[in-house]
Structure 1
Amino acid sequence: MEDLGRQVAYWDGVGATKTFTHPVDLGWLAGVSRDARVLDYGCGYGRVMAELSEHGFTDVSGVDLSPALIARGRRSRPDLRFAVLEAPPALGYPSAGFDLVLLFAVLTCVPDDGAQRALVAELSRVLAPGGLLYVSDVLLQDDQRNRDRYAAYARRFDAPYGVFATGDGAVCRHHDLAGLRALLSDFEPVDERRIDVTTMNGNRSRGVQFLSRKR
Structure 2
Amino acid sequence: MHEAARYWQTAGAVKTFTHPLDSTWLTTISRTARILDYGCGYGRTVAELSDLGFASVRGIDISPALIDRGRRARPDLNLAVIDSPPTWAGPAAAFDVVILLAVLTCIPDDNAQQTLITELSSLLAPGGLIYVSDLLLQPDDRNVRRYTAHARAHGGPYGVFATDDGAICRHHTADHLRRLFAGFNVLNERRVDVATMNGQPASALQLFVQKA
CA distance in 2, matches of 1:100, 1:168: 33
1:173 to 166, 170, 176: 170
1:74 to 71, 76, 85: 71
Deviation of 1:200 (Å): 0.6
2:180 to 183, 193, 199: 183
Alignment correspondent of 1:158: 155
Deviation of 1:86 (Å): 1.1
Percentage of matched positions with identical amino acids: 58
Deviation of 1:14 (Å): 1.1
Runs of 4 or more off by more than 6 Å in structure 1?
A: none
Alignment correspondent of 2:81: 84
Alignment correspondent of 2:127: 130
Q: Which runs of 5+ in 1 are unaligned?
A: none
CA distance in 2, matches of 1:178, 1:9: 31
Aligned residues: 212
CA-based RMSD: 1.1
- Residue type matched to 2:4 in 1? Q
CA distance in 2, matches of 1:159, 1:151: 11
Deviation of 1:141 (Å): 0.4
* TM-score where L is the length of structure 2: 0.98
CA distance in 1, matches of 2:82, 2:50: 21
1:64 to 61, 65, 77: 61
CA distance in 1, matches of 2:13, 2:50: 22
Alignment correspondent of 1:33: 30
**Residues 50-85 of structure 1, C-alpha deviation per residue, up to 9 Å, x if partnerless?**
000000000000100000000001111111111111
1:143 to 127, 140, 164: 140
Query: What SS is found at the alignment partner of 2:60?
Result: strand
Query: What SS is found at the alignment partner of 1:178?
Result: helix
CA distance in 1, matches of 2:129, 2:177: 16
CA distance in 1, matches of 2:21, 2:99: 10
CA distance in 2, matches of 1:100, 1:69: 22
* TM-score where L is the length of structure 1: 0.97
- Residue type matched to 1:126 in 2? L
Q: Which runs of 5+ in 2 are unaligned?
A: none
CA distance in 2, matches of 1:93, 1:40: 14
